[in-house]
Amino acid sequence: MEVTFKIFRYNPEKDERGNYVTYKIDAHPNDRVLDVLEHIKGKEDGSLSFRRSCAHGICGSDAMRINGRNMLACKTLIRDVGDHITVEPLLGLKVAKDLIVDMEPFFENYRKMLPYLINDSPLPEDGKERLQSPEQRARFDETTKCILCAACTTACPSFWANDEYYGPAALMTAHRFIFDSRDEGAEARLEILSETNGAVRCHTAYNCTEACPRGIHITQAIGELKLAMVTGNID
């Protein structure tokens, strides 16, 4: 089938502003958007810039707007998005070139959440491990699935309105550790979440949940964080 790709192009060294370039490509309905981008880069225009690494929905590097929705190019089939496809960079982060955005502000917010296990207590006598029951592990299982693709944060109207908001992805990182029974840093993280640009900026628009390629119930998890902030209960 012939597919028309309209791709946002911007080279800060040459262009004052971005523009759209159209490519007509012969593709198979089961091709992924990433396959077509690779084809364009390899055969038609080597200057086209986009991020990708694993090509299998694991690394989170190829989130972009496909027909107006945040998606991973490697997980999006042509047959699911039609034969006229517009591809644009994520909203709310500065475009570095074409489909590549500057992820540094995103990762800065991630680092604010102390994204590592905090536990200074001595290890149990018998051992080498801090044991956890299956139920305790299940409590934060969902938020361990985050691949830091930024699809949620850059789909969030609160983040568009105020890019100082830490954003849903950072909140998911906080959730992953706060509800981990082995961790002792919940108090510090809940304090960070209580800051002006923390969880209070979430107005439950649900855009994040819709955008997440890992199917994480982000809005619900943010609700759990808000409750923990009020009650101090992290069970």
Q: What residues make contact with ligand SF4 under the rule CB under 6 A?
A: 60, 146-152, 168-169, 172, 211-214, 216, 218
Comparing C-alpha atoms, which of 197, 194, 183 is closest to residue 227?
Answer: 194
Residues 60 and 145: their CA atoms lie apart, in Å, by: 11
**Of residues 58 and 230, the one with the C-beta less far from ligand FES:** 58
CA angle 90, 190, 161 (to 5 degrees): 30
Q: Is 100 in the site for ligand FES (CB under 6 A)?
A: no
Q: Which two three-digit tokens encode residue 167?
A: 């954003």
Q: Which two three-digit tokens encode residue 93?
A: 């982060």
Q: Is 52 in the site for ligand FES (CB under 6 A)?
A: yes
Q: Is 89 in the site for ligand FES (CB under 6 A)?
A: no
Tell me which amino acid residue 149 is: C
Report the residue from 31, 62, 180, 224 that binds ligand FES according to the rule CB under 6 A.
Answer: 62
**Of residues 1 and 58, the one with the C-beta less far from ligand FES:** 58
Q: Is 41 in the site for ligand FES (CB under 6 A)?
A: no
Residues 8 and 50: their CA atoms lie apart, in Å, by: 11
Q: Is 105 in the site for ligand FES (CB under 6 A)?
A: no
Report the residue from 9, 18, 39, 57 that binds ligand FES according to the rule CB under 6 A.
Answer: 57
Pairing of strands 69-72, 19-26: unpaired
Q: Which two three-digit tokens encode residue 10?
A: 């911007």
Give the binding site for ligand FES (CB under 6 A). 52-55, 57-62, 72, 74
